[in-house]
């Protein structure tokens, strides 16, 4: 058994997930990045190796419940349990409510919400056994205040907040915490594709008048995953430059 605790980060290959992987590894976790993007996983493995960080990578499509569960169970068996789980993988299929197809809705729910549930269910077993666990869902400011054009996405993100609060209540006595981090607008590949006009409009709604960076989210996650956050559970840390308070 490894002396280090194991952290699993879904969607860890790039963007916010990658920054979380690096921050948790720097914080003393052995980290496994699960992602569907093999190329980005290999790139991450190379960077982690160069920086002497304890990072493993594994290609998994997290919408495949059986494979995700089997992967989580195997990781728990091989590494003395799962210490932390960060449900970070997420997608958008933005459209106005009357134009969202069943497929757009189902896909967003499958990746953003159902996979987070499946991973949580699997991780909870070893966390309860070990009397230690940190479950952190990456929600979104859209799930807190809503966002035009993101009915499906906002629904999935609000559900992640409700799920964390319920898991927090259920597992509190076993020293397992469950929290959310809700990012505002963060500069990543996901947001790079937005038109300039949409970005300017988004910035004007942020009191601090600036976009966030992946490290802003990774810092909040690193705190919640650490011993320092031992009394924090059922919380949602909003990291958005004040956007959700400015309505």
Q: CB-wise, 6 or 119, nearer to ligand NAI? A: 119
Binding ligand NAI by CB under 6 A: which of 7, 8, 17, 220? Answer: 17
Query: How many C-beta atoms lie closer than 10 Å to residue 205's C-beta?
Result: 18
Question: What CA–CA distance (Å, rounded) separates 39 from 43?
Answer: 6
Binding ligand NAI by CB under 6 A: which of 145, 183, 218, 243? Answer: 183
| Residue 16 binds ligand NAI, judged by CB under 6 A | yes
| Residue 95 binds ligand NAI, judged by CB under 6 A | no
Binding to ligand NAI (CB under 6 A) within 144-173 occurs at none
Total residues found in the chain within this entry: 247
Please report how close the Cβ of residue 62 comes to ligand NAI at its closest, in angstroms: 4
Q: Pick the piece of the chain touching ligand NAI (CB under 6 A) from 34-42, 119-127, 162-170, 228-236.
A: 34-42
| Residue 63 binds ligand NAI, judged by CB under 6 A | yes
Please report how close the Cβ of residue 186 comes to ligand NAI at its closest, in angstroms: 4
| Residue 69 binds ligand NAI, judged by CB under 6 A | no
| Residue 180 binds ligand NAI, judged by CB under 6 A | no
> Which residues are within 8 A (CB) of 125 and not within 5 positions of it... i.e. 6 or more apart?
76
Q: DSSP readout, 119-152?
A: HHHHHHHHHHHHT-EEEEEE--HHHHH--TTBHH
| Residue 75 binds ligand NAI, judged by CB under 6 A | no
| Residue 62 binds ligand NAI, judged by CB under 6 A | yes
Of the candidates 177, 61, 67, 60, the residue with the CA atom closest to the CA atom of residue 122: 67
Q: Pick the piece of the chain touching ligand NAI (CB under 6 A) from 85-93, 117-125, 126-134, 169-177.
A: 85-93
Inter-residue long-range contacts of 201-208, CB under 8 Å, 24+ positions, other chains counted = 205/243, 205/246, 206/240, 206/241, 206/242, 206/243, 206/246, 207/241, 207/242, 207/243, 207/245, 207/246, 208/241, 208/242
Of the candidates 42, 51, 41, 46, the residue with the CA atom closest to the CA atom of residue 17: 41
| Residue 140 binds ligand NAI, judged by CB under 6 A | yes
| Residue 29 binds ligand NAI, judged by CB under 6 A | no
Integer angstrom CA distances of residue 217 from 24, 91, 103, 146, 185: 12, 17, 29, 20, 11
Q: CB-wise, 27 or 90, nearer to ligand NAI? A: 90
The residues annotated with a catalytic role in the active site are 153
> Site residues (CB under 6 A) for ligand NAI?
11, 13-17, 35-37, 40, 60-63, 88-91, 111, 138, 140, 183, 185-186, 188-191
């Amino acid at each position: 058994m490894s002396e280090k605790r194991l952290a699993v980060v879904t969607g860890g290959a790039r963007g916010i997930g990658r920054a979380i992987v690096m921050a948790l590894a720097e914080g003393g976790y052995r980290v496994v990045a699960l992602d569907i993007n093999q190329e980005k996983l290999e790139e991450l493995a190379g960077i982690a190796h160069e920086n002497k960080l304890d990072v493993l990578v594994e290609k998994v499509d997290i919408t495949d419940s059986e494979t995700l569960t089997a992967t989580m169970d195997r990781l728990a068996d091989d590494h003395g349990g799962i210490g932390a789980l960060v449900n970070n993988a997420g997608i958008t299929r933005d459209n106005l409510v009357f134009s969202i197809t069943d497929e757009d809705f189902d896909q967003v729910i499958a990746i953003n919400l159902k996979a987070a549930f499946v991973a949580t269910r699997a991780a909870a077993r070893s966390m309860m056994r070990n009397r230690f666990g940190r479950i952190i869902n990456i929600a979104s400011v859209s799930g807190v205040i809503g966002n035009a054009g993101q009915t499906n996405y906002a629904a999935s993100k609000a559900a992640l907040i409700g799920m964390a609060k319920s898991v927090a209540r259920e597992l509190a006595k076993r020293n397992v915490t469950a929290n959310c981090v809700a990012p505002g607008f963060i500069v990543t590949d996901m947001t790079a594709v937005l038109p300039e006009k949409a970005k300017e409009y988004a910035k004007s709604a942020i009191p601090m008048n600036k976009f966030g960076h992946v490290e802003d989210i990774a810092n909040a996650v690193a705190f919640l995953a650490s011993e320092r956050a031992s009394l924090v559970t059922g919380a949602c840390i909003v990291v958005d430059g004040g956007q959700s308070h400015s309505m």
